[in-house]
Structure 1
């Protein structure tokens, strides 16, 4: 579903109901019915994101692929539009400044601000992925030459060496304090990435690692020096708790549901894409298992958390499916360049050609998908900014209206 289209039936029903129940005693029952409808839609949307059982008849988007992330953002935008309709449309503004909403709504608005920072950090991380893609394309260009000779192999080796080193820098070296200190030396000198400044061997020298580190940090470290994506997620989820007792009426439940969706989507983006300081990213989000709408989200969280734990153990790049594939193929091709002897055996040449073709296809997916993904993240940014502004203005209006005239 395109991000600009929303289920008119949902928004229409909310509008009609609100107009009908203004003077009716059954407003509370109608709100509960609206909440139930919202919960049903959230459950269905996240169920659609769960990987289906393997089948020869379908080729689903891989979990955490660019196509899957774009679908996730589409679903988020739809949920966001429905949430705003429930919270604002045709409602008495005084309702959202009464307990417990006088606490829950400001907490939600604070999470939105933190989500905006994450959107910015992820957008910078996508620029790093573009650099990975360019390095991979240099190696592809070299290894597609026929016949493959020492010159082509050395060129590919330099590009692959820079690619593997830079991916490790993005994801591993940022987690220690010394690297954090060096990350702000943006004026670091060094030759262009993959331009022939390597040693010609498969081992990266300390100087080469340092040069690549400086270049890639300058792309992705654009947030404040002490900013951490992992800590940002922790802050967003620290006070996220399902309403209980007297707080469990329809509106508090609605705010909790949307807060959970927001935290989950931002957590997923941080896990999938290069992002400043991801070390220690929480894997257990406070999603209530008692909520019927949460089951599919919990299933997705468990799958992503399992992959994240594997990633942290081996220190590989982010969970974006295309990056994982690029890393695996680059490591294999790097091994080939290190053991290359001329002339190349036919069987080995065919194996390398297949890997190069697969890496080329991965780069094509990145080329076609990264720009639309960036656009969607920007749309999420602007959409939540607009909604937050409308809610803040409503709160300010209500506050002024309820203030005694002196």
Structure 2
């Protein structure tokens, strides 16, 4: 009963879409009903129900990531802030369904015996490693806000009917700082050092607002060791990720493997998209299973992201976030314009500047609207996996106590 109440509370807190809430709610309800029915059934009936639940879980995972994969046909949507928010939404839904399959109405002894006695500790260890990645990625989002401030300086300088030498010099200074931050974000533990000076460019009177925006995240660690590497952390999480074989491939080991895979893939994607400390070799650190039907859309996404990462890794840019890719191109174009500027500028050149400034303004608007909700979702992932780890430890502890012989 306690576990069912816990699942119900999670459903209320989950920042999921309406469709995902419907799918998840029907899934959890179906498991609850079927588990109640199984109490009066034979062991064969229980096994059939368990197989049905795991089949349903696999199908939901495949459907969720297939929908994410369909967005790759829309260049402006793939790896955008909105796409990453949907990715985290799907992860939270998968995580709740996973616990429903493994925990809801189940005897603690079932998840304390082989092979779960080995696989669950590995999952709990990955969760610990994932917390550092959540911290690093959340810290990277703050760095993106600094870049956004630089872009807003460019807008205030160039969004003018008449552009003169003073406006161009101001824009050029901000553009140089912006591109420098993007090109060196993997050095010295992230791009924050490269963008700390940008705060002097910001609008006055925003310090209290900035502190207020950061306040909800104080429970996360904001300092990473200088030798910490996001790429190495992802590699450590994926190094012993092996699919279950034989009889284990149709038992409870399967949902554990699926959840391990989804966890590693989602964090790997966030690290590839957002500024994160030391990401060299990230594209070679994660291999997906290719022969499992539920994993096919995840594999396709992983291959697509890997291809893009290898192209960008050579340049050492800010990552694969769609908004940052566009901003980099616009910033470089505007910097070239500033370098060759002579007053008065030609009318057709001013029209081109106006178009670039409008596109930059649209990017800043998307960042203003999307970065904080994205950071809140990363925070939710952080706390959700912490709760998951605590719940599994509690159940394993229950099993251990029940197994102690009475004197």
Q: 1:39-92 CA deviation, whole Å, 9 max, x = no partner?
A: 0000000000013586xxxx7861110000011111111100000001100001
Q: Cα RMSD over matched residues?
A: 2.4
Q: How far apart in 2 are the matches of 1:300 and 1:191?
A: 37
Match of 1:118 in 2: 133
The answer to whether residue 35 in structure 2 is matched with residue 18 in structure 1 is yes
TM-score by length of 2: 0.86
Indicate conservation of the 8 Å contact 2:123/2:256, yes or no: yes
Q: Deviating runs (4+, > 3 A) in structure 1?
A: 51-54, 183-186, 190-196
Q: In the comparison of the two structures, how many residue pairs are matched?
A: 370
Partner of 2:67: 48
Q: TM-score, normalised by structure 1?
A: 0.86
Corresponding position of 2:146: 131
State the SS of the aligned residue for 1:170: coil
Relative to structure 1, the CA distance from residue 44 to residue 195 in structure 2 (aligned partners, 3 Å threshold; closer, same or farther) is: closer
Residues 138, 194 of structure 1: 8 Å contact kept: no
d(CA) in 1 for partners of 2:192 and 2:68?
41
**Aligned mate of 2:57, from 38, 48, 67:** 38
Matched residue, 2:248: 247
Quote the offset at 1:397 in angstroms.
1.1
- Structure-1 separation of matches of 2:229 and 2:197: 29
Deviation at 1:257, TM superposition (A): 0.6
Q: 1:402 to 1:228 in 2, by over 3 A?
A: same
CA contact (8 A) 2:152 2:364 kept: yes
Where structure 1 has 5 or more consecutive residues not aligned to the other structure, the ranges are 197-219
Tell me the equivalent position of 1:167.
182
- Cα drift, residue 338 of structure 1: 0.4
Q: Deviations over 1:285-331 (max 9, x none)?
A: 33221111111111111111110000012222211100111111101
Alpha-carbon distance in structure 2 between the residues aligned to 1:192 and 1:46:
38
| Cα drift, residue 401 of structure 1 | 1.2
Partners of 2:198 and 2:385 lie apart in 1 by 38
Would the aligned equivalents of 2:182 and 2:191 in 1 still touch at CA under 8 Å? no
Alpha-carbon distance in 1 for matches of 2:38, 2:125: 31
Provide the C-alpha distance between the structure 2 equivalents of 1:52 and 1:125, rounded to a whole number of angstroms. Answer: 24
For 1:124 and 1:344, locate their aligned partners in 2 and report how far apart those are by CA, in whole Å: 40
Q: Counterpart in 1 of 2:16?
A: 3
Q: Distance in 2 between matches of 1:367 and 1:53?
A: 23
- Residues 231 and 164 of structure 1: is their aligned pair in 2 closer, same or farther, counting only changes over 3 Å? same
What residue ranges of structure 2 are gaps of 5+ in the alignment?
Answer: 1-13, 203-220
Q: CA deviation at 1:192?
A: 5.3
Equivalent position SS for 2:260: helix
Secondary structure class of the residue paired with 2:331: helix
Alpha-carbon shift at residue 232 of structure 1 (Å): 0.7
Aligned mates of 1:118, 1:329 — CA distance in 2: 30
> How much has 1:146 moved relative to structure 2?
2.7
Matching residue of 2:77: 62
Return the alpha-carbon distance in structure 1 between the equivalents of residues 123 and 278 of structure 2. 24
Residues 50 and 296 of structure 1 are in contact (CA less than 8 Å); yes or no, is this contact kept in structure 2? yes
